[in-house]
Structure 1
Amino acid sequence: MRDGVEIPLGPPKQRAVLAVLLLQEGRPISYDGLVEALWGGAPPVHVRNLVQKYVSGLRRALGDGAELAWTGSGYRLTGVQADDLRRRRELVAEALTARDAGELHRATELAGRAEELWRGEFAEGLHAPYLAAERLRWAEKRLTVLEARLAGRIELGHSFEYVHELVRLVAAHPLRERLSELLMLALYRAGRPADALTAYEAVRQRLAEAMGTDPGPGLRSLHARVLRQDPAPAPGDATGVAVGGAVEVGVGVGVGVGVSVE
């Protein structure tokens, strides 16, 4: 954006160049590195001309507020930032401060706001090997933020309200143990220990059939507590991972590509 107006950034491959450069966060990327990021091991015949064309197009689109320069070792983009990355980092810093001050309500609310900054799939519609890998990486980070938000809500006593959301998430990610653990915990805290044990048996069977493995220590520990009818643990106790720590790990860039020129 420039002065509140969206900047036309050109064709998809040119926007992919911008996404790759933005993810360097001001560090130069070599010509070979940029080509590899965009086309992998099979670049087109006239790849050098294409790179020069896209770089020139971005310089025109971004205008005087940004600098896309060749440093001698690579292309470096400055004066432009991915707004989602900046804002998400701010929210995480605030969430961690709130957590350290014992303000769990505020920390959970800030984690939820960080989660909301994801709009659609990462770098949606842009095709490049580097961006495909980043898309998977940020999908994982998005789930981590989501898990942190849900863990906070459960710790604040809202277990019953989030059972249905966790059932849906477990169905979408059946082998993700942390989601199954949170579902078990929400059920147990909601006074449904038998359902919590059923959820454990379901994930145990899925892991055995798909991967030939047993549940990890977090799930096993929670299962043992439910069997003993121990007091329900806090969401981070079963795995030893604090809620705030999960928030910190889970935050990252959300290039769509929406940028602001400073």
Structure 2
Amino acid sequence: MAESTSGASHALRLEVLGPLRALREGVEIPLGPPKQRAVLAVLLLQEGRPLSYDGLVEAVWGGAPPVHVRNLVQKYVSGLRRALGEGPELSWTGAGYRLTGARADDLHERRRLVDEALAARDAGEWERAGELVDRAEELWRGEFAEGLRAPYLAAERLRWTEKRLTVLEARLAGAIELGRSFEYVHELVRLVAVHPLRERLVELLMLALCRTGRPADALAAYEAARRRLAGAMGTDPGPALRSLHERILRQDPALLPLPVA
């Protein structure tokens, strides 16, 4: 039912890859105060599944809701019904609140693009995979459900930050595979600075440096990462990073610069 009556059928577009917003025929419509917007974001992420009253309260307010939370929930649900207008249906099913006839359109598009990118990568179509991932990345306008304070959304924000980084790492790995290391060294340096304990990014930076004829800089990047991990977590680099470090030390020919594909 939810799929056959998507927001697109009523020219309503809902987006969560950044500040939550609703567009009707390209014009943004007001969605009310922050907690009302948080209720909408939480219900959107259920993708048509009902969410119990207690579950909704926990998702939006956590373990210490305000005294009059029941009245607030009713107020926000009524406000969302008015704001969304025709098409979407926010109803009480007996099992909980359910939002149908609407979806997070940018999230749906991102999933499709990433799935297509993975299929292209598995088929060896690195160029097409990179283009699809870039299109998926362009859908982001900021943090996931940016600015909305709710325990459920905070957890989702962390989860999607991780997913976004994983996809970004795959895109960078594909670019290196295509012989474009030089184009992405500076981006990798910036990403490592932002995420200094993320070993996959350090690994990609080291590989890109090797592929641009800078093995000494790659070894220096490894040593810097080793010190950061030891200082922050009391651990050594993981197997993948150590293996690449050893390959650089023994001058593995596979790490030499590649011709641009």
How many residue pairs match? The answer is 234
TM-score when normalising by structure 1: 0.86
* Partners of 1:112 and 1:233 in 2: CA distance: 26
**1:36 positional shift:** 0.5
CA contact (8 A) 1:16 1:127 kept: yes
- Give CA-to-partner distance per residue, 1:11-55, whole Å, 9 cap, x none: 111110000001111111110000001111110010000000000
Unaligned segments of structure 1, at least 5 residues:
235-262
Mark the runs of 5 or more structure 2 residues left unpaired by the alignment. 1-22, 257-261
- The structural deviation recorded for 1:192 is 0.8
SS of structure 2 residue aligned to 1:68? strand
Match of 1:62 in 2: 84
2:210 corresponds to 1:188: yes
Amino acid at match of 1:220: R
Judge conservation of contact 1:185–1:232 (CA < 8 Å) in 2: no
- Indicate whether 1:5 and 2:27 are aligned: yes
Q: 1:73 aligns with which of 61, 77, 95?
A: 95
> Aligned-pair distance for 1:83?
1.3
CA distance in 2, matches of 1:102, 1:168: 28
Is the CA contact 1:188–1:232 (under 8 Å) kept in the aligned structure 2? Answer: no
Q: CA deviation at 1:129?
A: 1.1
> What SS does the aligned partner of 2:171 have?
helix
SS in structure 2 at match of 1:43: coil
Q: How does 1:1-262 map to 2 (within 5 A)?
A: 1-232=23-254
Q: Structure 2: which amino acid aligns with 1:186?
A: A
What is the distance in 1 between the residues matched to 2:190 and 2:123? 33
Q: Taking CA–CA contacts closer than 8 Å with sequence separation of 6 or more, which of the two structures ends up with the larger relative contact order?
A: 1
Distance 1:233 1:8 in 2: 54
Identical columns (%): 84
Greater than 3 Å deviation, 4+ residue runs: none
Q: Distance in 1 between matches of 2:87 and 2:133?
A: 32
RMSD: 1.3
> In the TM superposition, what is the alpha-carbon distance from 1:102 to its structure 2 partner?
2.3
Matched residue, 2:6:
none
- 1:6 is paired with a residue whose SS is strand
Contact 2:248 2:255 in 1 (8 A): no
Whether the aligned pair in 2 keeps the contact of 1:189 and 1:232 (CA below 8 Å) is: no
Q: Deviations over 1:106-130 (max 9, x none)?
A: 0111112112211111111211111
State the AA in 2 paired with 1:209: G
Matched letter for residue 152 of structure 1: G
